[in-house]
Amino acid sequence: MILLSHRRMRSLRGSFVLALSAVLALGACGTDPTPIETPEVEAPTAPTAEQQSRAATLLEGPDWYRHAVFYEVYLRSFQDSNGDGIGDLPGLVSRLDDLKGFGVDAIWLMPIFKSPFKDSGYDVSDYDAVSPEYGTKEDLKKLFDEAHARKMRVFLDLVFNHTSSEHKWFQESRTNKTNPKADYYVWSDTASSPTNACGPFNSTFGTVPWSLDAARDQYYFHRFYPGQPDLNFDNPEVVAETLGVAKRWLELGADGFRCDVIGLLFETNVPKDCGALQPKTAEYVKKLRAEVDKFPNRAMVAESVLFDSPKAYYGNGKDAFQMAFLFDFGYLWPIAFQSESRDQIDRAFRATDTFPEGYQNALVIGSHDVGRAFQVSQGKEWRHRRAAEIQMLARGTPYIYYGEELGLRPGTEKVVDARDSARTPMPWIRAEGHGFSVAKPWIAFGADAASTSVEAEKDDKSSMYTHYRRMLALRRGRAVFGTGAMALVDVGNPSVFAFTRSDATEAYLVVENMSESDQTVSAEVEGSELTRVLGDGKGKREGAKVTIDVPATGSFVAKLR
């Protein structure tokens, strides 16, 4: 779900038209007074056998998700197998080897449950049935089995805040005020309620959160489209029903869940708390975590509500979510580039210092809600690349939205709403149809589909796809990027973002030039070496001092020890 307020939406649109320039300053510690210059090297596009072996070990056990690379798939647009123009489960199975070879460890499937598709599947009409156009429950079981055979995992998208108005629960609830499901939803005699002070998040979903149901002669509450009535989690039967849904999918083989707008489950009569995690919601999350913990090595990731800190979603670090999306970085990073200030990214990562031990950021730079990285980068590919380096190397688990590795362009056709611009089909080959389907796709491809196809980019050393492969090869099997400490480097200049990652074994320095001008900087960071492993900058160490030359729009990633 897209969760921007009216005011924040206007603010972001305004900020996305700024230009960018920057300067840079950094540093390091060392003991050798003799200058050591970084050699000219090209980062590898594939991990070594030793890295793969280490990765296999790191990806076992309960902390596997800390070292994994997730890949978000919109099934409808990924791969069609039966020629109807709609992506499906067998199509995804046929692409597992492609994803495995690229470096994906886990797949997050956007909703695949039965739905009238009024909100692209986020309006579920049956939590226990796969939407027919995607396949069957047997097809989903095969996906689980085939993924597990490749040591890959699969997350399902749980949408519990609301159902479709076509769900059998709502159809029964609306019949009268005394039926067994009468209190499964939030009903009121008026189009307002003292128990709910909240309204829609933005104009995408309308302006009025109450709709009159003629059959029951009452209003029902919906934070999103009118066809998505909110469930009443004050009813213990609703709590039991939803926990049962999660249990059944775990039994079938799901490895965990992404939980859609999980912070909205319980309603509030305090306007300022409409976006905050309610205490009763936090208690529900603990119950959901207890169900997940009954199955070994399962995990969950939370979609927080607004741009407030996701700290509350972690509970005590052991009893709630293992991961939560850090949207202050994931959705607002373009501001840093367009405003010539790293402050937004600094704030996002600095806030995590207060998170409970055991937290793990979930990091995105584009999504099905806010647009593709190419779009929010305003077509400046270098911004996309710099943001992706932060996503891959900062503390957290990266979630790659399908097609971001290709720099996919937004589409122009609208089937459901404006967010369809980021939900276009995946182009696999250059030729007509682009390998997605032999039929006309359910929605048109974005621009430049041939030149941004996997076929066109996979052997191009300068492509976005190759850049992603280099980043994934760097982090593969290196525990420091999954669980190592992250320290921001205060470079003394608001236009540059820099940080270190370190553990007992390794340490790395990441420098991102957020300007279109060459920069030369120096500072001190711990370490005994300065070996470039990614980027186009150059570095030199002289004793305790490190000097970095970073070209315009470039970056410098170096091993410190």
Condensed to tens digits (0 to 9), the pLDDT of residues 267-319 reads 888 877 887 899 999 999 999 999 999 999 999 999 998 677 899 999 999 99
Question: 383: which 2 tokens?
Answer: 């911004």
What is the structure's pLDDT at 20? 28
Phi-psi region for residue 253, left (φ > 0), alpha (ψ -120 to 50) or beta? left
Catalytic residue positions, numbered: 260, 303
In a domain, 507, yes or no: no
Bridge partners of residue 230, in order along the sequence? 162
In a domain, 248, yes or no: yes
In a domain, 545, yes or no: no
* 185 and 133, same domain (yes or no): no
* 258 and 345, same domain (yes or no): yes
* 275 and 372, same domain (yes or no): yes
Condensed to tens digits (0 to 9), the pLDDT of residues 467-483 reads 999 999 999 999 999 99
The string of DSSP letters for 184-248 reads SB-EESSSSBTTB----SSGGG-S-SEEEETTTTEEEE-SS-TTSPBB-TTSHHHHHHHHHHHHH
User: Within its chain, how far is the Cα of 533 from the centroid?
Assistant: 26
User: Within its chain, how far is the Cα of 84 from the centroid?
Assistant: 28
* 85 and 202, same domain (yes or no): no
In a domain, 106, yes or no: yes
In a domain, 462, yes or no: yes
Out of 475, 508, 532, a domain closes at 475
User: Residue 169 pLDDT > 90, yes or no?
Assistant: yes
* 157 and 172, same domain (yes or no): no
Region 42-50 average pLDDT: 94
Asked if residue 530 lies in contact with residue 28, where contact means CB atoms within 8 angstroms, the answer is yes
Q: How far is Cα 364 from Cα 191, in angstroms, rounded to an integer?
A: 37
Question: Domain of 470: which CATH number?
Answer: 3.20.20.80
Question: Domain of 210: which CATH number?
Answer: 3.90.400.10
What is the structure's pLDDT at 7? 35
Condensed to tens digits (0 to 9), the pLDDT of residues 503-552 reads 999 999 999 999 999 988 888 898 889 999 999 999 998 887 888 999 99
What is the structure's pLDDT at 267? 85
Q: How many domains does the chain have?
A: 2
DSSP assignment, residue 378?
T
Structural domain containing residue 179: 168-221
Q: pTM here? A: 0.92
- Average pLDDT score, the chain: 91
Half-sphere exposure of 150 (CA within 13 A, CB side): 23
Question: 345: which 2 tokens?
Answer: 């990214």
Q: How far is Cα 334 from Cα 12, in angstroms, rounded to an integer?
A: 9
In a domain, 83, yes or no: yes
* 424 and 459, same domain (yes or no): yes
Q: Which of 20-24, 201-205, 361-365, 374-378 has the lowest mean pLDDT?
A: 20-24
Q: Which residues lie closer than 8 Å to 47 by C-beta, 6 or more apart?
A: 55, 103, 472, 473, 476, 477
* 350 and 254, same domain (yes or no): yes
In a domain, 283, yes or no: yes
* 208 and 122, same domain (yes or no): no
* 376 and 309, same domain (yes or no): yes
* 200 and 255, same domain (yes or no): no
* 347 and 245, same domain (yes or no): yes
What is the structure's pLDDT at 17? 30
User: Residue 19 pLDDT > 70, yes or no?
Assistant: no
* 83 and 155, same domain (yes or no): yes
What stretches of 333-409 show up as alpha helix (H) in DSSP?
333-338, 343-350, 373-376, 381-393
Q: What percent of the chain has pLDDT over 90?
A: 81
Q: What is the dihedral of CA 229, 412, 71, 13, to 10 degrees?
A: -80
Local confidence band at 36 (pLDDT 50, 70, 90 cut-offs): low
Out of 444, 475, 506, a domain closes at 475
Local confidence band at 206 (pLDDT 50, 70, 90 cut-offs): confident
